[in-house]
Amino acid sequence: MAFSKESRRNKIRRRVRAAISGTTEMPRLAVFRSNKEIYVQLINDIDGKTIAAASSKDIKGTKIEQAGAVGKAIAEKSIAAGVSKVVFDRGGYLYHGRVKALAEGARESGLKF
C-alpha cells in the first residue's frame, strides 16, 4: 500500500515530535515549507507560546536564497529574545534543499543546534 507524501510526512513528524520538545532555555525551531514560502517559529512547548517567527513572504530571490535569509532572520530575532540554543524540528521534511539552507543560515548567524 503506497502512502501519499502528506501522510508520510505526518508519520515522520509525529515520530520526531515524540522525541523532542521545546523548553524556555532551548525552544523548538519548527519549520513549515509550502510550495511557495517557508515559515519558521521558535516555540516553547511547556508554556505553549511562540517566542519568535519569520517567513519568506517579503524576501526576494530563489527559494533556497529565501530560506537562508529566513534562517538568518530567525537567528537575529531569537538572539534579541535572549535565546542562543534551540532544538531543530524539521517538521517531517528531509534535511535537504530549503530546510538545509534555512538551518545553515540560522547557524551562520549564531544560533546553536
Among 35, 2, 29, CA closest to 16 = 29
> In DSSP terms, which residues pair with 34 in a beta bridge?
none
pLDDT, one tens digit per residue, over 53-73 is: 999 999 999 999 999 999 999
Is 3's pLDDT higher than 90? no
pTM of structure:
0.91
Q: What is the CATH number of domain 5-108?
A: 3.30.420.100
Q: Within 10 Å of residue 95's Cβ, how many Cβ atoms?
A: 10
Q: Within 10 Å of residue 107's Cβ, how many Cβ atoms?
A: 15
